[in-house]
Structure 1
Amino acid sequence: MLDASRLTPLQRVSLRFAVISLLFYGLCIMEGMIMRGQQISFDLMEADHYFALMGAHPMVGIFGSSFMLVFGAFYFLVPTLMKKSLYSQKLAEINWITMAVGVVTVWLAGFVFRYAALYTNYWPLPVTEFKPISLLVFATGNILIMTGVMIFCYNIFATVFHRSDTEEPMGPLLKSAVGLDGFVNVYRRWRGEKVEEPLMPLPIVAIFRGTIDTLLDALVLGGISIVFLIHAVFLFTGEPLPTTWFDALVYKNIYWWGLDLIADGLVLIYVAGTWYLLAGLISGRKLFMENVARAALLVELVVSWNVWAHHLLADQAQWNWMKILSGEMVTAFELVTSGIAIFVTLKTLHDARPLKMTPQLKFLLGGILGFSLGVPAGIIQADLGMNRILHNTQWVIGAHAHMQLLIGLGMTLYAALYALFPMLTNDTPLKSRFLTNFHFWAHLIGGIGMSVCMGFAGMDGMLRRTMYGADHPFQPEMIGAAIFGSLMVVAYLAMMYNIISSIGPRGLLGIFVDLPDAGEQGAESATPA
């Protein structure tokens, strides 16, 4: 059982992020199963409620679950790997509270107030089609989320470059953090010259670069939310502001540039860094082709700034040159950067054989499999011809998005969770190895199965933003998706039971509040009055 009184402040705040993340993931899969039932033709809710749920679902999954788990892990890893103290413990505490409140607020905007502009929030729909209260609540929640994201970015950057703990000058630190030393070392090796040891560990480089995209994403989405908030206030006064001041096509490009910094930017960079970290921990070896990996991370950062237009390939108003250059050509290059990350990780593990098949190794391999399936699916639809067929179908969110998020990202995060669990809980052992293995197989089979069923439905023509009536032709695929989705629910419950029974209810509560010592409490109760 976990003795929470022995946790350091850094362990405690990281665990708080993790617990909140797992709770939001539970909410997210509940939403997903409700939508699965609705798509089978169960009459569960009205159309406006269904689409509001569809809009809240990715916000909870991305910012409530994935971001929170990533932030918690990085708050622990950055100071630990750099052998420095976290810049501000207080900011970290404010961070998880701000983001948790923001995600709940956004969820309420959809589930209660029926805000249903979906994940895209295309202008001017948010300010013309929904009640002022729903727009106000959504904008407020999103601003809180992005404020939390910016707090994280500031705290991480300040920790990396805080110089009270190091004598290193700022210039070389920045050069190493950006990854220029990777290019320099590759060039020196090609010239047969001596290669210098980089100042920063490779996982820190990935975290730093991914956090750049995280900050840019927060600035864009937060700025647009401020626009929503201003319009909501004027809607309450009965004198709505005109919407013509913001060109819809320009808005789409700005919005998708910021939004795609998540899917095709920070996620891929953070995941690559996590793979490299886990490969080193599991193998006990130096990463294969480390300097190439450093250089590739910098290339991925630049690529991530130029790929957003593949989301607008089916938009007739979008400029054709941008569709071809950004939407097709630059997007296709992600096969190269992702391929390098997969190859470097697998080669490092291969050279360290034989390896014990630990939970973190299993989930790491599962995460690699998820991206190996999901990234090519995305490249397929990032083609002008294929995009006309697949863009607004279940293929996009099934074979591509859910495959990458649930299997690729999800299993990578679980690998990190299982690897960091003993470090964060002072070597508290997991209670059941069987439940850990069950979690792996049930999540893997359930996630791939559900994504494939949705992908097949998309290839048959099932739209992703449409409610179908009873006995629609896509019922077999949706029934299959629901069955596999149910397997993921069971996997989640098995994982939660395993973790909670391992740390104990008292340990779980002690992560958030200071509890009296159990021995002292028992002694006091035994003392006669």
Structure 2
Amino acid sequence: MNFTKTLINGEEGLFKSETLTPMQKLTLRFVVVGLVYFGFVVIEGMLMRLYEVKPLPFITEPQFFAILTAHPLVGIFGSTYSIVCGAFLFLVPYLMKKPLWSIKMGNWTFILITAGTFIFWSAGFVSHYSPLYTLYWPLPADFSQFSVWGGTFFILGIAIVMAGTALFIINIFKTITYTPEGWEKQRAGALLSSALGVTGFNNLFRKNKKEHLVPLPVAAVARGSVDMALNTITILFTGVLILVYMVGAILGFDLKETAIDALLYKNWFWWGLDLIADGLVLIFVAGTWYLLAMMITGKPLFMQNIARAALLVELVVSWTVWSHHLLSDQAQPSILKVLSGEMVTAFELITQGLAFFITLATLWSARPLKMTNPLKFLLGGLLGFALAVPAGIMQADVGLNRILHNTQWVVGPHVHVAILVGLTMTLYSAIYILFPILTNGARVYSQKLVNIHFWCHLVGGIGMGAFMGMAGLSGMLRRSLYVNGEFNTTMILAALSGTLILVGFIAFFFNIVMSVGLKGVLGIFTPARIRTRDLLPE
């Protein structure tokens, strides 16, 4: 096929959107929107990188900080949540060999996350609402700096995303625990117990061990969804609190900001927010590593029972590590700094290290392995977390945290390497391995573009994190602008690394479009012709 025909119809015309089930279409919609929002994030990131070298004439300083506020939230909710929700709404029923509990609820999850992200991004873009992504009190309610209407729509957008997330969580647990019509009845309590790790824990004290009713990757999704639920409650409560002040301001009431204890608020907010960073992300990633390792090798997971136990430990640990974000707060109680901030946080090196080892051991057991696209991106994801997790543990030291906390080090070697390299490359691995399943056998257009994507993303992600870290070690703060060229060398190198990520993403996006064709992309968003609850066509 010539270029034009391939662009329209996809590689060899193999992708036919009319053959997709409603579940396949739903999953692909999540992925497409997640990738579009990732494109937003990459472009915004590049604009910030360039602005930190030299202010751009078409971006004002308030708009820069508005981008800085929305950038990570679009990345987390618009991109990562979209791809993760889409993948797990497909994989949980796929692995349990039964239909999703509610496709309608899945569609509402898609609509709410997509729309909510666009609303809060637009609110920041138009009004320059920029209390920064941590929303430290009283910044979100400081209407002397920020538009109350812009802030209202920003928080409403976040709340809409959380509503979609809540529907996702309900759908996941209902899918795990329900018995499809015509099946032999399965006890919901036993399924839930297996998913959450209660069965495995009780087996430690039983002579006659009970079998696990739920596959290990599904157990990881369930346990990560517990943290997602707690995070949703926290963010919604915080949003309601902020909205009370905003509605009060709109109605002409001057509510006192001092009525809210800033330290208590910060502890509450970070407890919830850290359930994403140190909870569901690490649990979801570990479960995804395990699934990918099993799918790539065709072998059972190495040390499967240990892996199940580690997921349960990670879940409990995730509830108690938030204080490492407050190590530099003078008013934070010392006991919380030491126990939660330092000692418990160190367990994450053990739990994530176990996940890393078990995944590699499973891959090693199947050698020699062909370096497929899913395998190379999985290895890239493993490398990302191998670099980012120790960087985070280093920060979880009271002495070092005083130096590093508010610098580019935190968002460079730790956050960006963890998300861009560790998390995103793991997601890319999942996309590549699920692509033929979700598209009924469509082929990737160009292996050369896959290789460009891999190397540009890997080198760019690690490079940007490293150069941001160097700037941080030299004293560059992460929420400040330097307009006199103090850190130009490292910021130029970080911008060049970011350019590699952008090039890699363009190569990937173009490759996917050429694989399914423009007709295929549009067809994903049309109603399914096949009326079935089955995940795949018969």
1:134 alignment counterpart: 150
Contact 1:186 1:291 in 2 (8 A): no
Residue 206 of structure 1 pairs with residue 192 of structure 2:
no
Residue 35 of structure 1 pairs with residue 35 of structure 2:
no
Give secondary structure in 2 for the equivalent of 1:228.
Answer: helix
Give secondary structure in 1 for the equivalent of 2:323.
Answer: helix
1:332 alignment counterpart: 346
Residue 168 of structure 1 pairs with residue 186 of structure 2:
yes
Equivalents in 2 of 1:187, 1:506: separation in Å? 57
1:234-273, aligned counterparts within 5 Å? 234-273=248-287
Distance verdict in 2 for CA 1:505–1:254, change over 3 Å = same
Report how far residue 242 of structure 1 moved. Answer: 2.0
Residue 430 of structure 1 pairs with residue 444 of structure 2:
yes
1:180 alignment counterpart: 198
Report how far residue 227 of structure 1 moved. Answer: 1.6
Equivalents in 1 of 2:281, 2:527: separation in Å? 34
More deviation, 248-257/131-140: 131-140
Equivalents in 1 of 2:261, 2:113: separation in Å? 30
1:497 aligned residue (506, 510, 522)? 510
Report how far residue 162 of structure 1 moved. Answer: 1.2
Residue 361 of structure 1 pairs with residue 375 of structure 2:
yes
Q: Which amino acid aligns with 1:495?
A: F
Report how far residue 233 of structure 1 moved. Answer: 1.4
Residue 394 of structure 1 pairs with residue 408 of structure 2:
yes
Contact 2:342 2:397 in 1 (8 A): yes
Residue 147 of structure 1 pairs with residue 163 of structure 2:
yes
Equivalents in 1 of 2:71, 2:192: separation in Å? 37
1:313-324, aligned counterparts within 5 Å? 313-324=327-338
Identity value in percent: 52
2:117 alignment counterpart: 103
Equivalents in 2 of 1:43, 1:24: separation in Å? 23
Q: What are the superposed Cα offsets for residues 371-394 of structure 1, whole Å, 9 maximum, x if unpaired?
A: 000000000011000000000000
Q: What are the superposed Cα offsets for residues 342-371 of structure 1, whole Å, 9 maximum, x if unpaired?
A: 010000110110111100000001000000
Report how far residue 513 of structure 1 moved. Answer: 1.6
Q: Which ranges in structure 2 are unaligned for 5 or more consecutive residues?
A: 1-12, 530-538
Contact 2:275 2:318 in 1 (8 A): yes
Report how far residue 195 of structure 1 moved. Answer: 5.2
Equivalents in 1 of 2:479, 2:303: separation in Å? 44
Contact 2:119 2:154 in 1 (8 A): yes
Q: What are the superposed Cα offsets for residues 136-170 of structure 1, whole Å, 9 maximum, x if unpaired?
A: 11111011010011010011111111134452223
Equivalents in 2 of 1:454, 1:241: separation in Å? 40
Equivalents in 2 of 1:364, 1:502: separation in Å? 21
Report how far residue 410 of structure 1 moved. Answer: 0.5
Contact 2:178 2:186 in 1 (8 A): no
Equivalents in 2 of 1:446, 1:182: separation in Å? 41
Q: Which ranges in structure 1 are unaligned for 5 or more consecutive residues?
A: 517-529
Report how far residue 238 of structure 1 moved. Answer: 1.8
Contact 1:328 1:383 in 2 (8 A): yes
Q: Which amino acid aligns with 1:337?
A: T
Q: Which amino acid aligns with 1:362?
A: K
Equivalents in 2 of 1:150, 1:183: separation in Å? 27
RMSD of Structure 2 on Structure 1 (CA):
1.5
2:431 alignment counterpart: 417
1:512 alignment counterpart: 525
2:302 aligned residue (266, 269, 288)? 288
Equivalents in 2 of 1:12, 1:76: separation in Å? 10
Equivalents in 2 of 1:185, 1:367: separation in Å? 32
Report how far residue 194 of structure 1 moved. Answer: 6.5
Report how far residue 514 of structure 1 moved. Answer: 4.6
Contact 2:176 2:192 in 1 (8 A): no
Equivalents in 2 of 1:184, 1:514: separation in Å? 46
Report how far residue 115 of structure 1 moved. Answer: 0.8
Q: Which amino acid aligns with 1:276?
A: Y
Q: Which amino acid aligns with 2:321?
A: V
Contact 1:180 1:295 in 2 (8 A): no
Equivalents in 1 of 2:290, 2:208: separation in Å? 24
Q: Which amino acid aligns with 1:502?
A: S
Q: What are the superposed Cα offsets for residues 465-492 of structure 1, whole Å, 9 maximum, x if unpaired?
A: 00111322x1110000000100110000
Q: What are the superposed Cα offsets for residues 82-105 of structure 1, whole Å, 9 maximum, x if unpaired?
A: 111111111111111111111111
Equivalents in 2 of 1:172, 1:85: separation in Å? 19
1:524 alignment counterpart: none
Report how far residue 243 of structure 1 moved. Answer: 2.1
Q: What are the superposed Cα offsets for residues 411-454 of structure 1, whole Å, 9 maximum, x if unpaired?
A: 00000000111110001010111111111111000100111000
Equivalents in 1 of 2:494, 2:90: separation in Å? 36
Equivalents in 1 of 2:141, 2:211: separation in Å? 53
1:468 aligned residue (471, 477, 482)? 482
Contact 1:335 1:376 in 2 (8 A): yes
1:26 aligned residue (23, 39, 42)? 39
Give secondary structure in 1 for the equivalent of 2:258.
Answer: coil
Report how far residue 172 of structure 1 moved. Answer: 2.1
Give secondary structure in 2 for the equivalent of 1:275.
Answer: helix
- RCO greater where, 1 or 2, for CA within 8 Å and sep 6 or more? 2
More deviation, 106-115/406-415: 106-115
Equivalents in 1 of 2:492, 2:218: separation in Å? 43
Equivalents in 2 of 1:325, 1:381: separation in Å? 15
Report how far residue 508 of structure 1 moved. Answer: 0.4
Distance verdict in 2 for CA 1:55–1:499, change over 3 Å = same
Q: Which amino acid aligns with 1:168?
A: Q
1:91 alignment counterpart: 105
Equivalents in 2 of 1:167, 1:295: separation in Å? 27
Contact 2:88 2:221 in 1 (8 A): yes
Equivalents in 1 of 2:252, 2:43: separation in Å? 37
